[in-house]
Structure 1
Amino acid sequence: MTERHADPVDALAELILRLPDVFQLVAGPGTGAPELSWGDRFFFVGDDRMRPFATVVVRNVPGFDERSDLDRPGRFRLNVELGRVRFRDLFGYGPEEFPAHRAGIDFAAAGRWFPHPVYAVQGWGSIVNPGPEAEPLIAHAHARSVKRSR
């Protein structure tokens, strides 16, 4: 991220919202989202807003996704839809091979990309507390979403 903000989640959201035609949904009261996801952010391209290209998760979801240790102060995780090819380029194996690699992945390591703890098999990647290294993959996920929405 290019600017310094008091809240790194806000700074990341601002970066994503600078991309063309991006809509952000922040889960909370009145959105229909479960309370466990309140504060999470979902980024969409297009009017259907059914399939995000990126999400920002701010806490663990007990029994579903606790591997990134997001309940510690100051931790959050960016998730982006990479697609099969970029996933393979980044991790050295395809999304379909994720289950065989899961045990060797540190999902709590900050500042480095890893397959999404739950949605890797759909071609998603994640990074805890991202920095500027996230920008190219955010742009990639956005471009995929723009292409899909046309």
Structure 2
Amino acid sequence: MNESEISQYIIGTFEGVDVVVASGDSFFFYNPDSNVPPDHRFPFVTLVTSDINDQFSNLNRPTVFRLNIGISKQTFRSLFGELSHPSGRDSAAISGENSSDYDFTALDQIMPHPVYGRMLWVCVLNPSEETFETKVRQLLAEAYDLAVSKHKRRVARR
């Protein structure tokens, strides 16, 4: 799948989603009433197309992009095992400091995000149709549900 197809899937599948495109990257926010101030938004999914913010995935290759998805702790653990403390070796690998545990340049593989893995973000470079259908769709739905839940809690506190 390409970036456009994935973007259209997200916008067409999930209600209340705003997309902000900056420097070729797309940031997907849950904003059902279009009233969340920009400084209070946090994306639940991003599509990144360049190495501007990090160089772990070598996104400067032609047609390579990275889909990043924020998921629950339970799902993250089911995929990658237990998170360790920031000083631990696993945490360093997940944050991209030790890329020997993951090849962050590999296409079509779900893996911890090279920088935001500690924050329970996963990524996949150029997901195939099969990976999208069997894994990514479910992760996107979970990320969306988490964003909706956070939004509802925020509104309830007002």
Q: How high is the TM-score relative to the length of structure 1?
A: 0.81
Alpha-carbon spacing, 1:55–1:95, altered in 2? closer, same or farther (3 Å)? farther
Q: Secondary structure at the match of 1:104?
A: coil
Contact 1:95–1:122, Cα closer than 8 Å, also in 2 = no
State percent identity of aligned pairs.
33
Q: Provide, for residues 64-98 of structure 1, a one-character-per-residue CA deviation record: whole Å limited to 9, x for no partner.
A: 51111110001000001013221111112227442
Contact 1:98–1:115, Cα closer than 8 Å, also in 2 = no
Counterpart selection for 2:3 from 2, 9, 14 = 9
Partner letter of residue 108 of structure 2? Answer: G
- In structure 1, the residue matched to 2:70 is 81
- In structure 2, the residue matched to 1:128 is 125
Map 1:11-90; keep pairs closer than 5 Å.
Answer: 11-18=5-12, 19-27=14-22, 38-46=23-31, 47-48=35-36, 50-61=41-52, 64-90=53-79
Return the alpha-carbon distance in structure 2 between the equivalents of residues 94 and 71 of structure 1: 30
- For the aligned residues, what is the CA RMSD? 1.7
Contact 2:72–2:142, Cα closer than 8 Å, also in 1 = no
Q: How high is the TM-score relative to the length of structure 2?
A: 0.77
Return the alpha-carbon distance in structure 2 between the equivalents of residues 95 and 141 of structure 1: 22
Equivalent residue pairs, number? 132
